[in-house]
Structure 1
Amino acid sequence: MKKIFLLLWFVLLGLFEVQAYQFEKNGIYYDIVNGKAVVVSGDVSYSGDVVIPETVEYDGQHYVVDSIGEWAFNSCSGLMSVKLPEKLRAIGSLAFVDCYGLTSISFPTSLKVIGYGAFQNCDGLTSLSFPEGMTQIGGGAFQRCGRLETLFFPSTMKSIDWGVFCESHENEYGGECTCDSIRRIEVKGIATWFNSNRFTERNHHVAAPYADLYVNGELLTEVVLPDTMTRIRPALFYGCQKLRSVVFPNNLKVIDDCAFENCTGIENLEFPQGLDSIRSLAFSRCEGLKDIQFPDRLEGIGVSAFFGCKSLTSVIFPNGLSTIEEFAFSECI
């Protein structure tokens, strides 16, 4: 009993090295958890091109590699690429944080979950394609990946949490967002886009403001909004400059802030009769817009709602319109 007590005491004092992994195989470190192999950090940082096998043998048994543990590749600045196994189920929180040299990663079809902050500061990544079947990406998982250009989302992701990718800086960074580099976003189903909010939490910044939207591989040039939609979310189609035609649902009540801002390809709008409110900047800088006839039930037009619509030649207002806020039609000449 005395010897056991002394050993525990030495461990607590740090006089004995405690390994954070169970075994190493071909340069990769593992733990066995619930009968599955988990990739973890080890004595030597991972570098170069790493290939993780589907199964690994330990103590006479073969184990499926089904997850990457938390912090497993943390600060492995020499890591260039990782080939993940086909049966991988989860990537843990902060698993690849600060892997500045990582330029390529392909997610297997088996992957379901990416943890919080998993790829933060991986600013070598330029493209991400999430597999069909994935349902969860943790908060901030790809923040400060400042070279990302293309994103693909599967139909199993019912909405996009832009806090996963975007972080707005304040003060010395002048409000710049770390996902401003994104130029192409592709969704498998348009419903995923309808359920997403492009405003980031800090500074009310619009996520991916320069990106073109693709649906099932086709550039979005026209959209028919579903009858179940009563409100168009803020900045939903912000900057979709190739968008030419919008069919609004009959039950639509509100077009929210910045919903179609900078959609320069839209020339005409036909609003549903039940529309109540067009909010701030909703159609700001829609420079191709020529004619507007507002519905009879419209009550309010928000601040700068049609600011900078330089091609506007005809506007018909309803008798019941009670509020036109400041700058609603400024710089329309």
Structure 2
Amino acid sequence: MLSNVVLPTNLEIIPNNCFGYCDIRSINIPNKVKEMKKYCLQYNQNLLTITITDNSILTRIEEYSMQRSKIETIFLPKTVSYFAANAFESSQTLKTITCNPSNPTFSVMDGILYNKDKTILVRYPANHGSSFQVPDSVKKIGFCAFISSVIETIIFPPNLKTIDGWSFMGTRLKKLKIPDSVTDIGEGAFAACTSLTEISFGAGMTYIPSYGFTNARITKIAIPDNITTIGDFAFDNCPTLKEVILPSTITNLGGSCFPSNVNVSFPSDAKLSLDDQQILYNLDKSILIMCLKKSTSYIIPESVVTIRSSAFKEMTDLTKIEFRSGTSLQTIEYDAFLGCSKLSSIEIPSSVTSFGKKSFYNCAQLKSVFFGSKLTRISSQCFEGCTSLSTVSFSTCDSSCIIDSYAFSGCTSLKTLTLSENISSIDM
């Protein structure tokens, strides 16, 4: 395995994946190098030192470029204008970032990287410390700013406005108090914080982002009435979560926003509906949001137009889905029935126009599928791994229809496939 690299002095770019998965222990970056591309030194798990001199003309350090390294400190010359906060993703050894004070884009205070005027916290080194008080000047926590860090306790400033996507993913946060000043939180901001047991939402929030708090260790969550939207997978895979209290202000719930075994309650004037099967809908039951109780069969009301993503995901006891006559169903979103390994009986209504990615992925007992004339798209991997699927038939479509790549991959029993004349594209 490659362990020693001497780069030429006239080198200008270290390309994507150039020295990934090697055993390099230290490396000197020549002064003429302008760009360190994505993944260029990833998974050099014994890489301890990287030398960048003050005379370097380096301008870009890109995403995952030093992923899984053991580097403890890095210097940014005055020419660096782009630094990806996830350049050190999954590395927990970085303690300090230093920067030439003449750099017009970045500044450093106490080993932490900010933009020049310190209104954006760009990167908190993963091993810098377990507690931190964000300076009052900071208005925004940047994308992946604390990702994979050892931080356990954080105090936000009172004027913070934005917490960008994936900014605290995989950290050791235990308690979280979001200031009332925060109005924007990005996707996955606190995902995979497996020590997080308490969350206090700020009054300025109107939505909880997709993947926002996956894998947290909370047991109960009461959503405040300033929240109107909860995104897809917001509290998915929270193993200890047993109770969710929703306000009447909620108007939109994403797919798999909670685990499927939680007790969900909401006031009578909420814009939600829960039937005797413990299926959660919007108020007029046009959107089937998720199923909150495992069973072997379900009956879908004729009012349902959309089955949300992951609505029945991995319900391994489910054998049958029945649709009421006169159904209005048009869309089955991604992962809707993924992993329903015993699902053998489902007559897909002829009104359905589109199937999301992996919507029936690994439904190993599904034997036949008939598509109606309204069909416009079957997304990638839709029926992949349906090993008992032997017959697939299409009506003559009213308009052109697209079948995306791997839609029927791994359907090892498929013997008969009858295609419509209006199928305009089949991706490989």
TM-score by length of 1: 0.50
The one-letter amino acid of 1:258's match is G
User: In structure 2, how many angstroms separate the alpha carbons of the residues matched to 1:269 and 1:158?
Assistant: 26
Q: Shift in Å at residue 300 of structure 1?
A: 0.8
Q: How does 1:131-170 map to 2 (within 5 A)?
A: 131=75, 136=80, 150-151=93-94, 152-154=96-98, 156=108, 157-158=113-114
Kept in 1, the 8 Å contact 2:139–2:160? The answer is no
Q: Shift in Å at residue 103 of structure 1?
A: 5.0
1:277 aligned residue:
207
1:37 aligned residue:
none
Choose which of 149, 161, 177 in structure 2 pairs with 1:230: 161
Q: Shift in Å at residue 186 of structure 1?
A: 3.9
Q: How does 1:190-269 map to 2 (within 5 A)?
A: 195-198=141-144, 211=148, 213=149, 219-240=150-171, 242-269=172-199
CA 1:184–1:295: 2 relative to 1, 3 Å: same
CA 1:247–1:134: 2 relative to 1, 3 Å: farther
Kept in 2, the 8 Å contact 1:123–1:147? The answer is yes
Please give the secondary structure, in 2, of the residue aligned with 1:158: strand
Kept in 2, the 8 Å contact 1:126–1:147? The answer is no
The one-letter amino acid of 1:225's match is F
User: In structure 2, how many angstroms separate the alpha carbons of the residues matched to 1:282 and 1:125?
Assistant: 27
For structure 1, list consecutive stretches of 5 or more residues without a partner in the other structure: 1-46, 51-67, 160-182, 199-206, 214-218
User: Which structure would you say has the larger RCO, counting Cα contacts within 8 Å and 6 or more residues apart?
Assistant: 1
The one-letter amino acid of 1:158's match is Y
Choose which of 221, 228, 253 in structure 2 pairs with 1:299: 228
CA 1:111–1:312: 2 relative to 1, 3 Å: farther
Kept in 2, the 8 Å contact 1:264–1:289? The answer is no
User: In structure 2, how many angstroms separate the alpha carbons of the residues matched to 1:110 and 1:131?
Assistant: 8
User: In structure 1, how many angstroms separate the alpha carbons of the residues matched to 2:10 and 2:33?
Assistant: 5
Kept in 2, the 8 Å contact 1:112–1:136? The answer is no
Could you report, residue by residue, the CA deviation over 1:101-149 in whole angstroms, capped at 9, with x for unpaired residues?
995545478467534479x989996425123876726579x98x99966
1:44 aligned residue:
none
Higher relative helix content:
1
Kept in 1, the 8 Å contact 2:164–2:186? The answer is yes
Kept in 1, the 8 Å contact 2:133–2:155? The answer is no
Q: Shift in Å at residue 150 of structure 1?
A: 3.3
User: In structure 2, how many angstroms separate the alpha carbons of the residues matched to 1:112 and 1:105?
Assistant: 16
CA 1:238–1:193: 2 relative to 1, 3 Å: farther
Q: Shift in Å at residue 244 of structure 1?
A: 0.3
User: In structure 1, how many angstroms separate the alpha carbons of the residues matched to 2:257 and 2:173?
Assistant: 22
Could you report, residue by residue, the CA deviation over 1:161-207 in whole angstroms, capped at 9, with x for unpaired residues?
xxxxxxxxxxxxxxxxxxxxxx9454899579954323xxxxxxxx9
The one-letter amino acid of 2:74's match is F
Kept in 2, the 8 Å contact 1:71–1:95? The answer is no
User: In structure 2, how many angstroms separate the alpha carbons of the residues matched to 1:312 and 1:245?
Assistant: 15
CA 1:113–1:153: 2 relative to 1, 3 Å: farther
- C-alpha RMSD of the superposition: 5.1
Kept in 2, the 8 Å contact 1:262–1:283? The answer is yes
Across the two proteins, how many residue pairs are aligned to each other?
227
Please give the secondary structure, in 1, of the residue aligned with 2:213: coil
CA 1:283–1:69: 2 relative to 1, 3 Å: same
Kept in 2, the 8 Å contact 1:263–1:285? The answer is yes
Choose which of 246, 266, 289 in structure 1 pairs with 2:218: 289
1:130 aligned residue:
74
User: In structure 2, how many angstroms separate the alpha carbons of the residues matched to 1:99 and 1:327?
Assistant: 36
CA 1:73–1:260: 2 relative to 1, 3 Å: closer
State yes or no: 1:93 paired with 2:34. yes
Q: Shift in Å at residue 330 of structure 1?
A: 2.5
Please give the secondary structure, in 1, of the residue aligned with 2:114: coil
Kept in 2, the 8 Å contact 1:294–1:316? The answer is yes
For structure 2, list consecutive stretches of 5 or more residues without a partner in the other structure: 99-106, 116-124, 263-428
Q: Shift in Å at residue 71 of structure 1?
A: 4.4
Q: Shift in Å at residue 48 of structure 1?
A: 7.0
User: In structure 1, how many angstroms separate the alpha carbons of the residues matched to 2:231 and 2:66?
Assistant: 40
Q: Shift in Å at residue 153 of structure 1?
A: 2.6
CA 1:304–1:322: 2 relative to 1, 3 Å: same
Could you report, residue by residue, the CA deviation over 1:32-73 in whole angstroms, capped at 9, with x for unpaired residues?
xxxxxxxxxxxxxxx9798xxxxxxxxxxxxxxxxx654499
The one-letter amino acid of 1:150's match is T
TM-score by length of 2: 0.40
Kept in 2, the 8 Å contact 1:303–1:328? The answer is yes
Q: Shift in Å at residue 93 of structure 1?
A: 2.4
Q: Shift in Å at residue 81 of structure 1?
A: 5.0
Q: Shift in Å at residue 258 of structure 1?
A: 0.9
Kept in 1, the 8 Å contact 2:4–2:25? The answer is yes
Could you report, residue by residue, the CA deviation over 1:209-233 in whole angstroms, capped at 9, with x for unpaired residues?
7x3x1xxxxx311112223223321
CA 1:265–1:146: 2 relative to 1, 3 Å: closer
Please give the secondary structure, in 2, of the residue aligned with 1:246: strand
User: In structure 1, how many angstroms separate the alpha carbons of the residues matched to 2:177 and 2:223?
Assistant: 15
Q: Shift in Å at residue 251 of structure 1?
A: 1.4
